[in-house]
Chain A
Amino acid sequence: MSAPNGTGRSWWQSLEEWAGSESFAETIKAEFPSLFEMARVDRRELLRVMGASLALAGVTGCKPAKSDDVVPFVNRPPGFENGRTDHYATAVLVDGFAQPVLATCVAGRPIKLEGNPEHPASRGATSFLAQAALLDLYDPDRSQSPLLRGNAADWGDFDAQMQRWVRAWKANGGAGLRLLIAPVTSPTLIDQIDRLKAALPNVRVHLFDPLAGYGADPVAQAIGTVQPLLRLENARAVVSLDDDFLGAGPAQVVNAAGWAKRRGDSPNAERVRLYMAEPTPTLTGANAQHRIGVAPSRMPLLAAAIAAELGLGSRISGLSPEEFGWANAAANALLSSRGKALLTVGRHSPPELHALAAIANERLGNTAVEYLEPVALVPDGSYLDLVRDIEAGQVAALFMLGANPAYAGPADVDFEALAKRVPLTIHAGLHFDETAAVSGWHLPLPHALEDWSDARSVDGVTSIIQPVIQPLYDTRSPHTLLAGFTSEGQPPDARGIVRQYWAGKLADEDAWNAALKTGFIPGTEAKPATISPSKMPIQLAKPGGEIEIVIRPDPTIRDGSGANNGWLQELPKPLTKVTWDNVIAISPATASKLGIGGSAEPSSNKVSMIEVESGGRSVTGPVWIMPGQPDGVATVYLGYGRRSVGRVGEGIGYDAYKLRTAAAPWATGGTLLAVPGTAVVATTQTHHRLEGNEEVPTVPSADARYPAPADQQTIYPGWKQGELAWGMVIDTDLCIGCNACITACQAENNVPVVGKKQVYEGREMHWLRVSRLYTGAPANPGTMFQPIPCMHCEQAPCEMGCPVHATVHSPDGLNLMVYNRCIGTRTCSSFCPYKVRRFNWFDYTSDAAPSIEAQRNPDVTVRGRGVMEKCTYCIQRIEGAKVQADIEGRPVRDGEVKTACQQACPTNAITFGNLADAGSAAANRRSSPRNYSLLAELGTRPRTTYLARIEPEDEA
């Protein structure tokens, strides 16, 4: 279905649109919902979401860390400091890997994290995870003091007991002492562990990483313990077997940056071509030019087929024509771009595929993947080894650092029972979680921004983590805790330990200070490692059961560690746009087989429930008909159904770990059963039939002109444009839909979290939405993303509507929103063709916990009830830059003002600047032949424009 008038391709957004089916009867039914509507917004929900109104001692009294300890970032990024903000270079952690950031601190409180522009890996960008890490710091539900079997205790008690154990361990060399550790990259911590093992030879360290499975690391099995690092900037042809390298994770920023280097304005001959085979739609698949959705059990077949084409194996049979075609094309693409070819396989894949990939890449003259010496801790054993040992009664003491096996463990391991068999269990974590509940001791850990440590980014570059706020609670750093295992008497504090470790590595005090200032230590990149891939036979195994079940981390809260983070919960999942829930994804065909009609009912997001059963265990959740999902495959998402984490994360969604076995953590077989009842699912992109009137322009190449409609003429003379004309250009060819911009905006602009009910009502407050668009048949659609902030129209319809001058135009071309003048007629939003305005239907802000208030940006008004709000182009940053420029008696420099969304974007899809200055980056991009305005025919003259997506004709 294509648009009646228009040059671009027509895009659809949901299945009703594509199918064009909408039963009148059910809409009538849906139109008169029962009076349950009455209590639509209950206050408790709101409170819960705002982090509850617990008064928090400690927060209000927080002071900056002692100035002789922490050293401010000297080369301050120009523009956004006006005499009272400090920027400290430090890092937050994702899966133990460093995400280098600059923390903007006001009055001793970090209020925003930006990427460290000098760091070789991130180059100033951040992922949504790094942005959201800030809220974890202020989470009022964080664990605040040590607990002994759930009862309040203090560190004194713990130390006292520790002394006894330490003496005992000294005697027996730590016999029966086991560490279960979530992934860490901290050189200091790893060194401490080594020294601990040296002191107590019988100690063994086990890794607990639900995002990598529970057994031995397949990569290690295949090619040895190395750290693979993609260099996508070197890849012309990429074939990914279920490797979601653009998806959420510690390497997202690095990969996205590499990816972007071969898109956007790069000529077609240089553009990356991605062939993606995946068992369930992912961000990477959405960005692929040649995507195929296949059941997990087919993945080895495809691998074998490619191997055959590459001459790495014998031809195999049993592929469908479609699969064969895809494998063929993929292999040819690899062969035709030797030296710039990359075959990558997901961490979900068995060892033989990793081996195959390594070998294939070698054959193809690999430049696009580096194998580095391990950056993260290399454990003595896996979680399953530990389980075995506990069952064998060999474990006397278990110390769990950031690990939560009671929740995130496999369903066929009853950790609670195991814990009972261990005389001493100590759990250290940020929250009093499911594991803490079954452990003897629970010890609160500090947030990364609260205490000293160090960590390495995916390329191995080491950052010293310096605290930017006094610890909010009575916590103790992992370093101190570990030191406690060997030291009698008071263990040293984290700074001492870290400083001492680096004293040996760094030349002198200056080098240390330099490391603190710049945020990383030069020359700490991980060394290349040699790999020894041994060719293994590819196993073809079809799991039992009539359907295959794919188990994946949730796109936003992942393994569940983000469950209590309101920003993550309300962040729309990139593809489904679902918030506050995990769904069960099945294909349209499978759905109709189960007699589940349509997708969500068009008039509301009430969706039918479905039960997924596997090996006698089952979960029930809302069904989601997922375009691109292979038939006969159901995807369940981890991270929800938390039983103990905090008010935000508890009791929402279903717990997919129930289907996860130690043997098959990623895919299994089972059955689907449609069950009665419906669930309310809050999506930010509701399901509607669409008459094909939605267009997203595409052009065949970077230099091709998009025939954008000319600006409407106006009879009005118009106002004189000052020397500043702010504008934004968004390159839809670079946008990968990762949502970093949304979280960055939320953090910068005090955008409230409103909760599931409000989102369901259509009242989400995000100033920026990332529109997800499909094209083609739902079986395997093309997908693209289009971020939509305020357009700051030069001829703004909204301004005409306001009776009280509450939204007007500034001389530098901003569409201003004057909160304290707004009386809430909402005419502006009614007249806005882009519907980018957001309204405070209730008082969303004043109930926030003190700790949440502590995070707020003092430069941005906290909006009260009954006023309209919207994207301001981060006017506080603009004004800050102007002030700075005035002080220095110069005009504002290009690039001096970065909006929050722009600064976070890993692919630099967003450019902001002064359009009046022809030399500015923004003006430059705006002059691109791909430039177009959204709904130009309305004559609103948007200041935010887009660059058309590039879709070259296939070079088969």
Chain B
Amino acid sequence: MVERALPLGETLHEISVDVGRVPLRFPAKVPWAIAMVLSLMLVGLFLVSITYLFARGVGVWGLNIPVNWAFAIHLYVWWLGLGHAGTLISAMLLLMGQDWRNSLNRFAEAMTLCAVVCAGIEPIIHLGRPWFFYWMFPYPATMGVWPQFRSPLEWDIWAVLTYLTVSFVFWYIGVVPDLATVRDRARKRGWRVFFGIFSLGWRGSARHWDRWRRCYRTVAVIAVPLVVSVHSEVSLLFASGQIPGWHSTIFPPYFVLGAAFSGFAMVAMIAIVMRHVFQLGGLVTERHLDVLAKVLLASGLMTAYGYVFEIWDGLYSGNVHEIATIHDRFFGIYAWSFWGAVFFNFLPLQALWLRSVRRNTMLLFAIATSVVAGMWMERYMILTTSLYKDFLPSSFGVYHASFWDWSTYIGMIGVFFTPFLLFVRYIPSISIFEDKEVLAREHEEARRG
């Protein structure tokens, strides 16, 4: 028999209630408060760190010549990678008419937003003179100088800004009808006003739905190539340099896949937590997790292919420096990051071949965590192993993350979770109307037998 995305037991109204109550009568006040407090503490740590950073200079990090990029840049790549899954899940699956998407896309998109914000902050605080970051934009400056459009950094700025805008718009037009639903369920006047304003007076008119749907699909269609282009450009930030270990044509696809991989893992983690905390088991079903796990496995294997090919690429080049870099990745002083990436990204992942594991929330969560950690190491590895020994031994040097490297990073995690927590608290975290659509269709099918 066909497996359904949603249990027939649910009725349209129940969905409104299940999801709609989340903002209105919040089920998990205590855990949420705890999480919020923790994440606010991290934000505090972040503020302290960047205050010190801005006061003293980027030297407070462990950077040096040659390793003058480390945490800020590798985390920029990492955060952006986490973000991509949101857009991908939403857009791609929408286009492929994957029903199971509906229970995940909303908070996946929100997760994207938060991650992109973090990703956007990193390259700005890493500047030597962050207060001049706007020099990257083409405005008529006193000296008449303009930005340099051949620079991959310049590309990134535009890519990230576009990506931020598009993911926000995509998320918002998706959420408007649900805001209307909550508006109509709300009892307290304050909530009515709040949701009334942000639902823009949505009435669910057939005319509106018609235009809305065309618009939503258009954005989805465009969002997919956007994701690919954005992370390809991120990879060009490295591939444009001639540094061994960077200067390779495989980088764009390799980066995009890795990004999606880590992103899906992140979505899985959050889905599991929310499902547990908000008792949304009826909506985020085992099937959702199962499909998610399959996607994770697939993208993981593709990333693994990327690893293999990158190494082969280096060896095949016959270039002594490329080979030396590969050697350093295997045995150098940052070998832990390479082997760590291989281990955390791929070994636990293989368990997902088993259906039982895919449907075991605990195990799936553990595996997803390991993937996120693995990708963190991979991005770190790509940066440091290439920079610390490039061509001339007289310039070789070693990088150690300083206390402030870590505090800035850990604080940034709070910058990620704080807005996300606010979102799950005050916005319908699962697409109400789309679930109704699916449910209706399933009833239909059920009736037709």
Contact residues of A with B, CB < 8 Å? Answer: 3-6, 13, 17, 22, 24, 27-28, 30-31, 33, 35, 37-38, 40-41, 602-604, 685-686, 688, 690-694, 758, 761-763, 769, 771-773, 786, 788, 797, 800-805, 821-827, 829-831, 833-843, 865-868, 934-935, 938, 940
CA distance A37 to B403 in the complex (A): 6
By a CB distance below 8 angstroms, the chain A residues around B57 are 840-843, 865-866
CA distance A458 to B434 in the complex (A): 94
Query: Chain B residue with minimal CB distance to A833?
Result: B391
Least CB distance from A88 to B in Å reads 37
By a CB distance below 8 angstroms, the chain A residues around B145 are 804-805, 821
Query: Chain A residue with minimal CB distance to B66?
Result: A835
Interface-facing stretch out of B34-42, B258-266, B321-329: B321-329
Query: Chain A residue with minimal CB distance to B155?
Result: A803
CA distance A836 to B67 in the complex (A): 13
CA distance A827 to B402 in the complex (A): 21
Known: A6-B320, A691-B323, A830-B241. A804 touches B333 (CB 8 A): no
By a CB distance below 8 angstroms, the chain A residues around B242 are 797, 831, 833, 938, 940
Known: A5-B318, A31-B333, A762-B65. A688 touches B153 (CB 8 A): no
Known: A803-B136, A823-B133. A838 touches B65 (CB 8 A): yes
By a CB distance below 8 angstroms, the chain B residues around A602 are 333, 398
Known: A823-B129, A823-B133, A834-B392. A762 touches B398 (CB 8 A): yes
Which 10 A-B residue pairings sit nearest by Cβ, starting from the closest?
A824-B128, A866-B128, A841-B59, A762-B64, A771-B394, A835-B395, A762-B397, A38-B403, A866-B129, A803-B153
B151 pairs with A830, CB closer than 8 A: no
A and B contact pairs by CB, cutoff 8 A, 24 listed: A31-B336, A603-B333, A688-B396, A691-B327, A692-B320, A694-B393, A761-B64, A769-B395, A771-B392, A800-B240, A801-B153, A801-B240, A804-B135, A804-B145, A805-B148, A822-B128, A823-B136, A824-B128, A825-B127, A831-B243, A833-B243, A834-B391, A841-B64, A866-B128
Question: Which interface residue of A769, A788, A830 has the most chain B CB atoms within 10 A?
Answer: A830
B392 pairs with A822, CB closer than 8 A: no
By a CB distance below 8 angstroms, the chain B residues around A5 are 318, 320
CA distance A762 to B240 in the complex (A): 25
By a CB distance below 8 angstroms, the chain A residues around B387 are 830
Least CB distance from B399 to A in Å reads 8
Query: Chain A residue with minimal CB distance to B153?
Result: A803
B240 pairs with A829, CB closer than 8 A: no
B128-169 toward A: CB 8 Å interface, digit per residue (1/0)? 111011011000000101111011111001000000000000
Q: Interface on chain B toward A: helix, strand, loop, or mixed SS? A: loop
B136 pairs with A804, CB closer than 8 A: yes
CA distance A314 to B147 in the complex (A): 80
Within 8 Å of chain A (Cβ to Cβ): is B367? no
Least CB distance from A828 to B in Å reads 9
A826 pairs with B157, CB closer than 8 A: no
Within 8 Å of chain A (Cβ to Cβ): is B433? no
B128 pairs with A868, CB closer than 8 A: yes
A693 pairs with B324, CB closer than 8 A: yes
CA distance A38 to B56 in the complex (A): 13
By a CB distance below 8 angstroms, the chain A residues around B396 are 685-686, 688
CA distance A210 to B399 in the complex (A): 41
CA distance A30 to B335 in the complex (A): 12
Query: Chain B residue with minimal CB distance to A938?
Result: B242
B320 pairs with A693, CB closer than 8 A: yes
Least CB distance from A732 to B in Å reads 13
By a CB distance below 8 angstroms, the chain B residues around A865 are 57, 128-129
By a CB distance below 8 angstroms, the chain A residues around B399 are 762
A788 pairs with B59, CB closer than 8 A: no
B59 pairs with A686, CB closer than 8 A: no
Within 8 Å of chain A (Cβ to Cβ): is B390? yes
Least CB distance from B48 to A in Å reads 13
Least CB distance from B238 to A in Å reads 8
B392 pairs with A31, CB closer than 8 A: no
Query: Chain B residue with minimal CB distance to A826?
Result: B68
Query: Chain B residue with minimal CB distance to A605?
Result: B398
Question: Which interface residue of B65, B148, B387, B403 has the most chain A CB atoms within 10 A?
Answer: B65
Which listed residue (A41, A690, A827) contacts B153, Cβ 8 A? A827
B44-77 toward A: CB 8 Å interface, digit per residue (1/0)? 0000000000001111101111111100000000
Q: How many residues of B contact A (CB 8 A)?
A: 67
By a CB distance below 8 angstroms, the chain B residues around A840 are 57, 128
Query: Beyond the given A17-B393, A788-B394, A831-B242, could you list 7 further A-B residue pairs with CB under 8 A, ordered by the A residue number?
Result: A3-B320, A685-B396, A826-B69, A827-B237, A830-B68, A831-B241, A866-B127
Known: A804-B135, A821-B143. A935 touches B391 (CB 8 A): yes
CA distance A938 to B322 in the complex (A): 13
B68 pairs with A829, CB closer than 8 A: yes
Known: A603-B398, A803-B136. A27 touches B128 (CB 8 A): no
Least CB distance from B188 to A in Å reads 48
A829 pairs with B66, CB closer than 8 A: yes
B392 pairs with A694, CB closer than 8 A: yes
B390 pairs with A833, CB closer than 8 A: yes
Within 8 Å of chain A (Cβ to Cβ): is B389? yes
Within 8 Å of chain A (Cβ to Cβ): is B400? yes
Which listed residue (A24, A31, A763) contacts B64, Cβ 8 A? A763
By a CB distance below 8 angstroms, the chain B residues around A4 are 318, 320, 323
Known: A839-B128, A866-B127, A868-B128. A801 touches B241 (CB 8 A): yes
By a CB distance below 8 angstroms, the chain A residues around B126 are 825
CA distance A227 to B332 in the complex (A): 54
B106-126 toward A: CB 8 Å interface, digit per residue (1/0)? 000000000000000001001
Within 8 Å of chain A (Cβ to Cβ): is B365? no
B147 pairs with A13, CB closer than 8 A: no
CA distance A762 to B61 in the complex (A): 12
B65 pairs with A837, CB closer than 8 A: yes
By a CB distance below 8 angstroms, the chain A residues around B336 are 27-28, 31
Least CB distance from B288 to A in Å reads 39
Least CB distance from A763 to B in Å reads 5
Within 8 Å of chain A (Cβ to Cβ): is B344? no
Which listed residue (A763, A797, A802, A940) contacts B59, Cβ 8 A? A763
Which listed residue (B130, B148, B241, B393) contacts A803, Cβ 8 A? B148
CA distance A888 to B153 in the complex (A): 45
Least CB distance from B255 to A in Å reads 16
Query: Chain B residue with minimal CB distance to A788?
Result: B394
CA distance A806 to B398 in the complex (A): 27
By a CB distance below 8 angstroms, the chain A residues around B402 are 37-38, 40
B147 pairs with A805, CB closer than 8 A: yes
A835 pairs with B390, CB closer than 8 A: yes
Within 8 Å of chain A (Cβ to Cβ): is B334? yes
By a CB distance below 8 angstroms, the chain A residues around B128 are 822-826, 839-840, 865-868
A31 pairs with B393, CB closer than 8 A: no
Question: Which interface residue of A13, A826, A834 has the most chain B CB atoms within 10 A?
Answer: A826
By a CB distance below 8 angstroms, the chain A residues around B318 are 4-5
By a CB distance below 8 angstroms, the chain A residues around B392 are 694, 771, 788, 833-835, 934-935
By a CB distance below 8 angstroms, the chain B residues around A843 are 57
CA distance A839 to B132 in the complex (A): 17
Least CB distance from A273 to B in Å reads 28
Query: Chain B residue with minimal CB distance to A603?
Result: B333
Least CB distance from B245 to A in Å reads 12
Least CB distance from B161 to A in Å reads 14
Least CB distance from B293 to A in Å reads 32
Least CB distance from B124 to A in Å reads 10
Within 8 Å of chain A (Cβ to Cβ): is B331? yes
CA distance A836 to B320 in the complex (A): 21
Interface members, chain B 378-420 (any A CB < 8 Å): 387, 389-400, 402-404
CA distance A365 to B36 in the complex (A): 91
By a CB distance below 8 angstroms, the chain A residues around B130 are 823
Least CB distance from B285 to A in Å reads 42
Least CB distance from B431 to A in Å reads 39
A803 pairs with B129, CB closer than 8 A: no
Query: Chain A residue with minimal CB distance to B133?
Result: A823
CA distance A788 to B133 in the complex (A): 32
